[in-house]
Amino acid sequence: MRVLLILCFCWCAGSWRAAQGQVTSNADAPRTFRLVIDKQVAEELDRLADTLSGESVRCLIGVTVGDSAVVDLAWAPPIYASGATHVRYRSCPLATLVVWHNHLAPPDAAPEDACYLSGIDIEEAWQPHAPPFQMVQVNPEVLCWWSKVQVARATGQPVLWADAVQRHRATPAALARGARP
């Protein structure tokens, strides 16, 4: 039986609908979107974030039903170049819901300080082929996410930081039980 990990994405109404090309009537109302990630996929991403010495990327693929999505595949696209602070890769397939990539924890700062999208990340995330969400993971306990609408608002900025709602820090035991962060 598949065990699932639940993460809640919160953002302004219209983020998901706008990302899907639909129009909403109340763009300012808060909205919750639930993303369910298969436990094995979540564990793989935790291991990658915890052990990689450079940036990598995964295309999180799944299906959407209403205001929920289920991710059951983390596909590694061909990577053209990777270093401690960058990764260049082939675009993700159309079924991708989230582009995940890791950032290395800064040696002299809190891991949360690495939860951001760089100017290059912002530019890539705003391309027409980009999926509706971006995720950066620093280690098994620290990850952040952004909707395409949030990324659009940051176009031209050098960095897009995650707000408090978009930063997630939880113990692996809580995640394994499927607890909400």
- Per cent of the chain over pLDDT 70 is 75
Mean pLDDT value across the chain: 76
Is 98 within 8 Å of 147 (Cβ atoms)?
A: no
pLDDT for the residue 31 = 62
Predicted confidence band of residue 14 (pLDDT cuts 50, 70, 90): very low
pLDDT band at 155 (very low <50, low <70, confident <90, very high): confident
The reported pLDDT for the residue numbered 178 is 37
Residue 83: pLDDT over 80? no
pTM: 0.75
Fold entry, domain 4-176: Cytidine Deaminase; domain 2 (3.40.140)
- Interval 128-152 mean pLDDT: 91
Is the predicted pLDDT of residue 2 greater than 90, yes or no? no
CA distance 141 to 50: 9
Task: List CB contacts of 170: < 8 A, sequence separation 6 or more.
Answer: 141, 179, 181
pLDDT at residue 80 in the model: 86
DSSP state of 164: G
pLDDT, tens digit, 9 for 90 and up, residues 23-77: 333 444 446 778 889 999 999 999 999 998 888 999 999 998 888 889 999 999 9
**Nearest-5° angle of CA 59, CA 49, CA 101?**
35
Q: Which of 21-30, 82-91, 128-137 has the lowest mean pLDDT?
A: 21-30
Q: What is the pLDDT of residues 99-126, one digit of tens each?
A: 999 999 888 998 989 999 988 889 889 8
